Amino acid sequence: MSLSWNKIWALAKKEIGYYFASPVGYLVLAAFFFVTGLFFALIVLGSRAASMVPVFQNTVILLLFLTPGITMRLWSEEEKSGTAELLRTSPLTLWEIVLGKYLGVCVFFAVMLSATLVYLLVIVLNGNPDWGPLFANYLGYVLVSLSFFALGLFVSTLSDNQMVSMVLTWVLLLVLWIVGATGNLMTGPVGDFLKSLSIYDQTDDFFKGVIDLTHVLYFLSLIFIGLFFSVKVLESKRS
């Protein structure tokens, strides 16, 4: 499969423009900056701990609620506005379309995440952080966020209604978040299997400062699944 990264980036820039041309984009940024700042001030500065763990542990839950709003328009809006058919019949391959959309939301997330660099600087200037655990914390947070966005993009391809996409994305992410709790109520292979599907269980080690390759592969698999099925849905609509 040959991909044109120039075409992918051109579509990504269009997506980034949508976020900053829409009140939703600024509302998401404002909510994220406010909540992360609040947790940093109340927990990290209050405890004087040289750690970002409390910020990430709490704001990853915030992302459960923000992600549907961020991703709901990725394809649903194209369907509603009638531009979906133009994209599907354009010189872009379906993978280029999906990767362009995904890259756009990832860049928007990078802007969101930039706020945490300010908090990190405060920690460095006022404490002696352990860089190994900090790297693990950031890696886990980024992986779980990118997984959310890939799954949100997939759900957006299923409907031309943004509200439907938003609700379905939230339900999907919530199920993947709490399925581990159901697994804890069961014993044997079924319980272990349900816990292995849980996003919450997979993030735990990262926030303890541990990088486990199994958890990294879990999130990379979720990202691939989200993108792969996005392509397959668009493929079915093209045919």
pLDDT in tens, 29-55: 998 998 888 888 887 767 777 677 888
Give which of 14, 159, 152 is closest to 70, Cα–Cα: 152
Total domains in the chain come to 1
Distance CA 52, CA 55 (A): 5
Q: What average pLDDT does the segment 163-185 reach?
A: 87
Instruction: Compute the mean pLDDT over every residue in the chain, rounded to the nearest whole number.
Output: 87
* Residue 183 binned pLDDT confidence (cut-offs 50, 70, 90): confident
pLDDT at position 170 over 90: yes
Give which of 164, 209, 166 is closest to 66, Cα–Cα: 166
146: which 2 tokens?
Answer: 């990118």
Q: What average pLDDT does the segment 157-164 reach?
A: 91
Name the percent of the chain lying above pLDDT 90. 41
* Residue 3 binned pLDDT confidence (cut-offs 50, 70, 90): confident
Show the 3-state SS of 114-183. HHHHHHHHHHHHHCCCCHHHHHHHHHHHHHHHHHHHHHHHHHHCCCCCHHHHHHHHHHHHHHHHHHHHHH
Domain that holds residue 124: 5-238
pLDDT in tens, 128-139: 778 888 899 999
When comparing pLDDT for 21 and 1, which is higher?
21
Distance CA 147, CA 153 (A): 10
Cα 223 versus chain centre, distance? 9
Cα 56 versus chain centre, distance? 13
224: which 2 tokens?
Answer: 């691939």
Is 130:147 a contact under the CB 8 Å cutoff? no
Min mean pLDDT across 8-12, 44-48, 70-74, 124-128 is at: 44-48
Count how many residues are written for the chain.
239
**Residues 200-228 as b or e (16 or more Cβ within 10 Å = b):** bbbbeebbebeeeeebeebbeebbeebbe
- Which residues contact residue 230 at a Cβ distance below 8 angstroms, ignoring those fewer than 6 apart? 75, 98, 101, 150, 153, 154, 157
pLDDT in tens, 97-116: 999 999 999 999 999 998 88
Distance CA 156, CA 140 (A): 24
Measured over the CA atoms of residue 63, residue 66, residue 72 and residue 74, the dihedral's sign is negative
Q: What average pLDDT does the segment 63-78 reach?
A: 89
77: which 2 tokens?
Answer: 């809006």
Q: What pTM was computed for the model?
A: 0.91
pLDDT in tens, 188-224: 787 778 888 889 889 988 988 889 999 999 999 999 9
Any idea which residue has 């299997």 for tokens?
193
